[in-house]
Structure formats: C-alpha cells, structure tokens
Amino acid sequence: MSQLSEIKCPVCAQWSNWTGKVDAKCPHCGAQLEPEHLKYEQEKKARTEQTKESSYLIIKDTDDTIVQMGKQFVNWLRWSTFFGISVIYFFVALMILVFGVVALV
C-alpha cells in the first residue's frame, strides 16, 4: 500500500500526489487543487488582520508626524483603559476579600 495520498483535480480530473499544502496546484493543468480550502484560509487570515486593525490603529510611515502622534495617543488610551479596568477589578476583588476577612474576625 502506498503512503502517498492522492487528490483529484477539480478542473482536469487527473489524479496527483497530495502534498498537504493549502495552495497546492495541479501538475497537469495548474489549477488550484483545493480552491475552497484556500479561500477559507485566506478569509481566515484576512479576518485576523481585520481584527488586529480594528483594535489598534496602524501607524504608517507615510502618515504625518501629528497623525502618528494622534494614533499613538489613541492606542495608548485604549491600552490604558483596558489596563485601568483590570486594576479596578483587582482592587474591588481585594476589598471584598479584605472586608470579608475583617468581618470574620
């Protein structure tokens, strides 16, 4: 039995060795062997990049200095807001713990 798996080309229907790569092409006609899978991978990648872009502003070299400073400030503000909320939650939890211990004593 062969260890190699084969894949059928969706365009020319020829069988070829399956390399496991998402962007594998048919050696007979050059068509994408897994167009659906490739599309899915590309969409997933695009979505990840989109999420990254929406959570933080990308500072480009082509931006004016004032724009870069503005973006840096917004990024810092977002980060510190997130950090600040975490600190507040931590203090609230600590207070509950401290007062709980005091009430027991």
Stretch that binds Zn ion, among 31-39, 49-57, 75-83, 90-98 (CB under 5 A): 31-39
Stretch that binds Zn ion, among 12-20, 56-64, 69-77, 96-104 (CB under 5 A): 12-20
Closest CA to 19 of 36, 42, 3: 3
Select 31 or 46, whichever has its Cβ closest to Zn ion.
31
Does position 88 bind Zn ion by CB under 5 A? Answer: no
Does position 38 bind Zn ion by CB under 5 A? Answer: no
Select 38 or 57, whichever has its Cβ closest to Zn ion.
38
Question: What is the spatial distance between Cα 38 and Cα 19, in angstroms, rounded to a whole number?
Answer: 14
Of 6, 15, 17, 28, the residue at the interface with Zn ion (CB under 5 A) is 28
Cβ within 8 Å of residue 57, ≥6 positions away: 71, 74, 75
Q: Which residues bind Zn ion (CB under 5 A)?
A: 9, 11-12, 26, 28-29, 31
